[in-house]
Amino acid sequence: MKKLLAICLIFTFSNSHILTSQTTMNQSAKFGVFENQTNVGNPKHKGSIVYNPETQEYTITGSGMNIWGGTDQFQYLYKSIQGDFIVRAHMKFTSEGVDPHRKMGWMVRNNLSSNSPEVHASIHGGDGLTALQYRKTDGGETEQIVESLDKLPDVVQLERRGNDYYMSTAHYGEPFVTTKLENVPLRNEAFVGLYVCSHNEDVIETAVFSNVRIIKPADPDFQPYRDYIGSYMETMNVETGLRKTLFYSAHSIQAPNWVNNDKELVYNSNGFLYRYSFENGESQQINTGFAIDNNNDHIFSFDETLLGISHHNSDDNRTSSIYIMNPKGDSIPRKITHDGVGASYLHGISPDNKTIIYTANRKGKYDIYGSDIETREEFQLTDTKDLDDGSEYSPDGKYIYFNSNRTGNMQLWRMDADGKNPKQLTFDENFKDWFPHISPDGKWIVFISFPPTIAFGDHPFYQHCTLRLMPTDLSTKPKIIAYLYGGQGTMNVPSWSKDSKHIAFVTNTD
Region 65-76 average pLDDT: 97
Out of 140-149, 265-274, 303-312, pick the least confident: 140-149
Nearest to 431 by CA among 448, 413, 414, 445: 448
pLDDT of 24 strictly over 60: no
For 409-444, what is each residue's pLDDT tens digit?
Answer: 999 999 999 999 999 999 999 999 999 999 999 999
**pLDDT, greater one: 98 or 13:** 98
Q: What is the mean pLDDT of residues 117-136?
A: 94
**Do residues 506 and 490 lie in contact, with contact meaning Cβ atoms separated by under 8 Å?**
yes
pLDDT bin (cut points 50, 70, 90) of residue 8 is very low
Asked if residues 295 and 493 have their Cβ atoms less than 8 Å apart, the reply is no
What is the distance between the alpha carbons of residues 121 and 53, in angstroms, rounded to a whole number? 25
Element (H, E) at 128: none
pLDDT level of residue 16 (50, 70, 90 thresholds): very low
pLDDT (mean) for 243-260: 97
Whole-number average pLDDT of the chain:
93
Domain spanning 32-215 has what CATH number?
2.60.120.200
Which of these, 85, 86, 87, 69, lies nearest to 77 by C-alpha position?
A: 87
Strand 423-424 with 411-416, pairing:
antiparallel
Q: Using the predicted structure, report yes or no on whether residue 13 has a pLDDT greater than 80.
A: no
9 pLDDT more than 50: no
β-strands 444-450, 463-471 pairing? antiparallel
Phi and psi, residue 478, nearest 5°: -60, 145
Taken in order 162, 218, 448, 248, the sign of the CA dihedral is negative
Whole-angstrom distance, CA of residue 168 vs CA of residue 180: 9
Q: What's the rounded Cα separation, in Å, for the pair 267 and 221?
A: 27
pLDDT recorded at residue 14: 33
Which of 256, 248, 302, 249 is closest to 275 using CA atoms?
A: 256
Over range 92-96, report the average pLDDT.
93
What is the C-alpha R_g of the chain? 24
Q: Give 6's pLDDT tier (boundaries 50, 70, 90).
A: very low
Residue 1 has pLDDT above 70, yes or no: no
Please state the domain extents for the chain: 32-215, 230-509
Q: Domain 230-509: give its CATH superfamily.
A: TolB, C-terminal domain (2.120.10.30)
Of 19-33, 189-203, 315-329, least confident by mean pLDDT is 19-33
Q: Of the candidates 139, 47, 154, 19, which has an alpha carbon nearest to the alpha carbon of residue 480? A: 154
What confidence score (pLDDT) does residue 29 get? 80
The DSSP-derived string for 83-127 is: S-EEEEEEEEESS--S-TT-EEEEEEESSSSTT--EEEEEEETTT
pLDDT tens for each residue of 219-251:
999 999 999 999 999 999 999 999 999 999 999
- pLDDT (tens digit, 9 = 90+) per residue, 360-369? 999 999 999 9
Q: Which of 155, 129, 150, 20 is closest to 67 using CA atoms?
A: 129
